[in-house]
Each structure stands twice: as C-alpha cells, then as structure tokens.
Amino acid sequence: MKTFPPLAFAVVALTFAATAQTPPPFQPKPIPRLLAIPEPYDQVSIQRDRQEIARYHYGTNLHRPFVFPLIGPSGISLSRLGHPRDPQTHSHHNSFWVAHHDVNGTTFWGDAGKNAGRIVHQRMEPLLDDAGEVASVIANNAWINESNVVVMFERRQTAIQLLPDNEYFVLLDLEFAPPKGAKAVTFGKTSFGLAAVRMAKSIGVHDGGGVMRNSAGGVNEKEIFWKPAKWCDYSGVIVSNVVEGITLMDHPLNPNHPTVWHVRDDGWMGTALTFDAPRVIEPGQTLHVRYGLYVHRGMPAVNKLEERWRQFTELKLPEPVKKK
C-alpha cells in the first residue's frame, strides 16, 4: 500500500484546513428602512425599522379596503375604526379609506342599507419597498353594486415616504375607469367622498379637546364645514402631554381643487370631490385624483403645514428599482 511521506501529508492537511476555514464571499445588501410585508388575512404591514407604522387591509370579505392603523411618532395609532359613540351605524369609518355616496346610483359610503355596493379587491401588483425610505402597495379594485355588477374599476397606489423625527407622508393615488363596453360612470353630487380619515377619540374636538384647522384660516367644524381649502389638519393629545396629528391634503391637479371639506368636531374629516356638481367618466376615459396625509408631531404652525403641502404636491410615486 502506498503512503504519503510525512511532509507531503502535512502540506495536504494544512491546505485542506485553510480551504475549509475560508468563508464564502459575503456582501450583504443594505436593508431598506421601510418595508411592505405581506401578512395573513389579506393585509400588508408597512414597517419602519421593523416596526409597523401602517397596515393596508384588502380582504374580499370587507366592504372596502382601508389603512389601519396610522401610527404616530409616539408609537400609538392616530386613527381608529368607527365613531367613538356610535361604532355600529358608523362602521364604515375605516381609519383612512376611500368611498363615495353615489356612483351610478349605488352608494359605496355606508356598510348597509338599500342599494349599498362594495369595493372589492381584484389583484395586487408587486410590492415596492426597495428604495430605502419609501414603500408602496398597488391594488386593483372593482366597485360592485348590489346586483353584483361591476360599476367601475379602480387602480390604487398607497405609498409611504419617511420624514425626519418619525413623521411621514402617505400618498394616495387613484385612477378610475368604466368597464370595457359599459356606459359612463357618474359620481353623483354629494358631500360624502372621496378620501376620509377617522381620528383617534382623544384627538377629536368634542371628546379630547383637539383642534381642526385648514389652509384658509378656518378653525374647527363651524369654520371649516363645507368650505374649500388645500388641506385640513386635525391635532390633539394622543397620550398624556403628547400632541400629534394628521393633515389631509388635496392635490392641485384634482378636478375640484381646492376641494370642499366635510368635517365634524367628533373626529373625522373628508374631501368632497363632487360637492359642487356630478363628475362623469366617459367610456374609454379615466379620472385621476391624488390625496396625501402628513402624520406629524405636535401641532405644527400653519406655515410649516403649507410647506408640507407644497412638498406633497411634488412627490413622485415609487417605481420598481431597475436591476443592474
């Protein structure tokens, strides 16, 4: 039997040991601060540094998709589900949601009653969370009447852009179109719809002593209700001695900008797309609107809110990162 000389054996052994101990090439990629993570029961969790700040709900058993919670800088949700004293008949107050009281005669505002429709999720596009401090969810929805007929299709992009001091923007981009071969879609004249926010109870004017302001200088329901403005802010105490709030913003390219506002001192605010008149989407055409939220600390001065509104108008929607 052949044997290795002692020196040769030692060289082979050392070579093997060195090879075994050499780690493979390891070049980890940076982890984005903001991630969109799929969760059970048709939900997507938006997480900043692995801590949730918002969650998109899109289950097909829901009356409509919505975002809840909206976590403020202190770590507590600034929005809620339902009216604080009447959660049953106001079950449609889904934190941050999209709805309208009259689309071709069907109401998509309430959860029950005569001629109530549903906004039903159809398809989710790839989640976008590779860009670091911005992430987005893109969903395609069908607005279906009580006869189970599709009245309108919608493509919705909900994007979050991080800001300093644990503040952030939420960008809501909506595109509506009639189904192929269908008649025109008419958003009827109403003050209910399109984008709305239900604030936490302690932030409401009635229940918590909060304050509502708008870009036109109005304060609280008496001066803001059914008045046009670029933005409306609701701020108040979320925990002892901690003030935070949300600004709902209307984009200047929206057809009725500055929008009229439907607000209440009991803690909700919404944009009224068709307060002045119906709006029609003809076959083959689309309606594109955009709204934004500014989730913030404290009760910012009006000039700071004006600056945040200006920044919102310049935001670009996230796009897929091109692979090298």
User: What pLDDT, on the 0 to 100 scale, is given for residue 25?
Assistant: 85
User: What pLDDT, on the 0 to 100 scale, is given for residue 6?
Assistant: 53
**What is the domain partition of the chain in residue ranges?**
30-314
How far apart CA 72 and CA 57 sit, in angstroms, is 19
Give the predicted TM-score (pTM) of the model.
0.91
pLDDT below 70 — which residues of the chain?
Answer: 1-20, 320-324
User: What pLDDT, on the 0 to 100 scale, is given for residue 295?
Assistant: 98
The two three-digit tokens of residue 296, written as one number: 């913030």
User: What pLDDT, on the 0 to 100 scale, is given for residue 220?
Assistant: 98
285-311: pLDDT as tens digits: 999 999 999 999 999 999 999 999 999
User: What pLDDT, on the 0 to 100 scale, is given for residue 24?
Assistant: 81
Q: 42 by DSSP, 3-state: which?
A: coil
User: What pLDDT, on the 0 to 100 scale, is given for residue 4?
Assistant: 47
Written out in words, the top-level CATH class of the domain with range 30-314 is: mainly beta
How far apart CA 51 and CA 132 sit, in angstroms, is 15
**Residue 323 CB-density burial (10 A; 0-12 exposed, 13-18 middle, 19+ buried):** exposed
- Specify whether the CB–CB gap between 257 and 271 falls below 8 A: no
- Specify whether the CB–CB gap between 109 and 101 falls below 8 A: yes
- Specify whether the CB–CB gap between 276 and 259 falls below 8 A: no
Residues with Cβ within 8 Å of 195's Cβ and at least 6 positions away in sequence, in order, are 96, 97, 98, 172, 248, 270, 271, 291
User: What pLDDT, on the 0 to 100 scale, is given for residue 273?
Assistant: 98
